[in-house]
Amino acid sequence: MDKSSNWESTQKKLYSMVSIGVTDNPLNQFYDILSTVALVANLVCAFAVTFDNVRAAHGPLLNFIDEITVAFFAVDYVLRIITASQHYKGLPPAKAMARYVVSGYGIIDLLSFLPHYLPMFFPAGATVFRMFRVVRIFRLFRINAYYDSLSVIGNVIAKKRTQLLASVFVIILLILASSLCMYSVEHDAQPDVFQNAFSAIWWATSTLLTVGYGDIYPITVMGQLLGIIITFLGVGLVAIPTGIISAGFVEEYQMATRLADIEQERDIHFIKASIDPGDAWIGKTISEIAMPSGSIIALVLRDGDTIVPKGDVQILLGDKLIICAESATEGMLEDVKEIVLRKSHPWTGQKIRDLDISRQTFIVLVDRDGKTIKPEGSLVLEEGDKVLIYSKENIRKYIRGPLL
């Protein structure tokens, strides 16, 4: 095996290690635990050091923990850069690295450690750099790969973004209109308080979004009447985003309940095949492989990870293929579930990429009128479709079994 192959194999192992949620071996599990512990410890120290008595008693220990955890963040960032080509398949290594560096997670990962070291080179900006350390808390979003319930709010906001933007737009219009009206009726009576439209905006915002701070308030009869009207409008309009998000949460959990009721387990047969040296399929893409009638490559298992077999996925040495075949009698994959979409099912009429499913769950294939369809993200599910789904935990259990 040449050096390039060794490096490719090392990259794959490192990528599996730094990828949150890939727990197919003890090293990956340990790294996930270490990442979480380092982040929690760093945040605890960041809060603890703000207390004078705690800083006086345990300052050196807190600084030591901070140094160790920040160094871990720096190493993690480097590992993610050198394995970026595994995440962004199809891109040259340099472009893959650049894609990660400018991505949201890449910027968060960089700011989680860089501001700690910048004061060494730019002492004058120490205060500003310290402020950027708060970005570390956003690393908590990586835990979503483990706990799907933590991503529910993100799903709700994404699904309801149109309604939320519309409600925020109306609130902004109300704030601007209220501020101009209040400035008009109060400026002459309180020129020092309602000096300009911005002062009125502050009053309108604090009144509509809170109970008011009391530093600015109307004293004229017209201003007080206007304030009462604006307060009533604010109670109704500002409650709209809360209602939208609350309704979204209810829909999410109702959907999960309906899905649990609709799922039916069926006897679905699969064959697992290993790609060994000299195999004719090595180097070919899924679309180039001629499969027997009535069968399809459902999954590609590669270095402990699971790949949905799209047409441009290339078969590599060592891959394990899960082939769906009606005549298979051995190597059955347990706990694969088949969902028949009815008219009332929440997935009916939706694109696969828009479905709200667990991050640990994948759609294997779609059966429509007896024809097997690959589950592309742009595929719109229809009434009567049979959707096969599986979870990573089930597939890992199966990987440990013997090859056919």
399 confidence band (pLDDT: 50, 70, 90): very low
Nearest to 282 by CA among 331, 326, 234, 315: 315
Q: How far is CA 68 from the centre of its chain?
A: 27
Q: Is residue 152 domain-resident?
A: no
CATH code, 219: 1.10.287.70
- pLDDT tens, 6-39? 777 888 888 888 876 665 678 878 888 888 898 8
Q: Write out the E strands in 255-377.
A: 264-265, 270-274, 295-302, 305-307, 320-325, 337-340, 361-368, 371-373
**Which tokens in the block code for residue 347?**
């997935």
Residues 84 and 95: their CA atoms lie apart, in Å, by 9
- pLDDT tens, 263-288? 444 444 556 677 877 777 887 887 77
Residue 357 has pLDDT above 50, yes or no: yes
> 46 or 344: which carries more pLDDT confidence?
46
211 DSSP 8-state letter: S
Q: Is residue 154 domain-resident?
A: no
Q: Which of 84, 111, 146 is the last residue of a domain?
A: 146
Residue 356 has pLDDT above 70, yes or no: no
How does the average pLDDT of the chain come out, rounded?
76
Residues 230 and 236: their CA atoms lie apart, in Å, by 10
φ, ψ (nearest 5 deg) of residue 365: -160, 170
68 confidence band (pLDDT: 50, 70, 90): very high
Q: Which residues pair with 274 in a beta bridge?
A: 320
Burial label, 245 (beta-carbon count in 10 A; 0-12, 13-18, 19+): middle
CATH code, 72: 1.20.120
Q: Answer for the pair 204, 223: CB distance below 8 angstroms, yes or no.
A: no
Residue 83's alpha-carbon distances to 8, 15, 401, in angstroms, are: 9, 6, 29
pTM of the model: 0.51
CATH code, 321: 3.30.70.1450
Q: Which of 123, 146, 169 is the last residue of a domain?
A: 146
Q: How far is CA 388 from the centre of its chain?
A: 23
Q: Answer for the pair 49, 55: CB distance below 8 angstroms, yes or no.
A: yes
Nearest to 328 by CA among 274, 268, 265, 266: 268
- pLDDT tens, 149-196? 556 677 788 788 888 899 889 888 988 998 899 888 998 888 888 888
Q: How far is CA 223 from the centre of its chain?
A: 47
374 DSSP 8-state letter: -
Residue 61 has pLDDT above 90, yes or no: yes
Q: Is residue 388 domain-resident?
A: yes
- pLDDT tens, 285-313? 877 776 666 667 777 777 766 676 666 67
- Number of domains into which the chain is organized: 3
Q: Which of 215, 234, 262 is the last residue of a domain?
A: 262
Q: Is residue 323 domain-resident?
A: yes
Amino acid identity of 52?
D
Residue 57 has pLDDT above 60, yes or no: yes
Per-residue confidence (pLDDT) for residue 313, from 0 to 100: 77
> 241 or 404: which carries more pLDDT confidence?
241
Are residues 137 and 8 part of one domain? yes
Per-residue confidence (pLDDT) for residue 29, from 0 to 100: 81
Residues 304 and 29: their CA atoms lie apart, in Å, by 13
Domain membership of residue 237 as a residue range: 161-262
- The pairing of strands 295-302 and 320-325 is antiparallel
Per-residue confidence (pLDDT) for residue 395, from 0 to 100: 47
Average pLDDT over residues 58-71: 91
Which residues 6+ apart lie within 8 Å of 36 measured at CB? 143
Q: Write out the E strands in 258-318.
A: 264-265, 270-274, 295-302, 305-307
